[in-house]
Amino acid sequence: MKYVDEFRDPGRIRGQLKAISRFTDRPYTLMEVCGGQTHAILRHGLDRLLPGNIELIHGPGCPVCVTPVGYIDKALELAALPGVVFCSFGDMLRVPGSRHDLLAVKARGGDVRTVYSPLDAVRLAVGLPDRQVIFFAVGFETTAPAVALAAVQALQLKLDNFSLLVSHVRVPPAIEALLGAPFNRVQGFLAAGHVCTIMGFEEYEALAQRYRVPIVVTGFEPLDILDGVYHCVRQLQEGRHTVENQYRRSVRREGNPHALSLLQTVFMTVDRDWRGLGLLPDSGLALTPAYQSLDAERRFNLGPPLQSDCGECRSGQVLTGQIKPTECPAFATRCTPEHPLGATMVSSEGACAAYFHYR
Asked whether residue 194 is domain-assigned, the answer is: yes
Q: What is the pLDDT of residue 308?
A: 54
Q: What is the pLDDT of residue 310?
A: 58
Q: What is the pLDDT of residue 1?
A: 54
Q: Are strands 278-287 and 28-32 parallel, antiparallel or unpaired?
A: unpaired
Query: For 172, how many CA atoms within 13 A lie in the half-sphere containing its CB?
Result: 17
Contacts of 277 (CB under 8 A, 6+ apart): 60, 66, 174, 177, 178, 316, 319, 320
Q: What is the pLDDT of residue 23?
A: 83
What's the domain range around 189? 5-62+181-245
| d(C-alpha 154, C-alpha 123), whole Å | 9
Task: Tell me the CA distances in angstroms from 240 to 200, 236, 334, 337, one per residue in order.
Answer: 21, 6, 44, 41
Of 38, 26, 33, 58, which is closest to residue 236 (Cα–Cα)?
26
| d(C-alpha 308, C-alpha 320), whole Å | 18
Q: What is the pLDDT of residue 305?
A: 67
**110: alpha, beta or left? (left if phi > 0; alpha if psi -120 to 50):** beta
The partner residues of 112 in beta bridges, in order of sequence, read 86
Which CATH number belongs to the domain containing residue 233 in this structure?
Answer: 3.40.50.11750
Work out the number of other CB atoms within 10 angstroms of the CB of residue 113: 17
Q: What is the pLDDT of residue 216?
A: 98
| d(C-alpha 264, C-alpha 336), whole Å | 40
Asked whether residue 18 is domain-assigned, the answer is: yes
Asked whether residue 309 is domain-assigned, the answer is: no
Asked whether residue 201 is domain-assigned, the answer is: yes
Asked whether residue 43 is domain-assigned, the answer is: yes
Q: What is the pLDDT of residue 225?
A: 98
Asked whether residue 343 is domain-assigned, the answer is: no
The partner residues of 54 in beta bridges, in order of sequence, read 28
Q: For the chain, how many structural domains are there in total?
A: 1
* Residue ranges in the chain modelled with pLDDT below 50: none
- Report residue 241 CA to chain centroid gap: 24
Mean pLDDT taken over the chain: 94
| d(C-alpha 251, C-alpha 69), whole Å | 33
Work out the number of other CB atoms within 10 angstroms of the CB of residue 21: 14
Contacts of 118 (CB under 8 A, 6+ apart): 87, 135, 137, 146, 147, 149, 150, 164
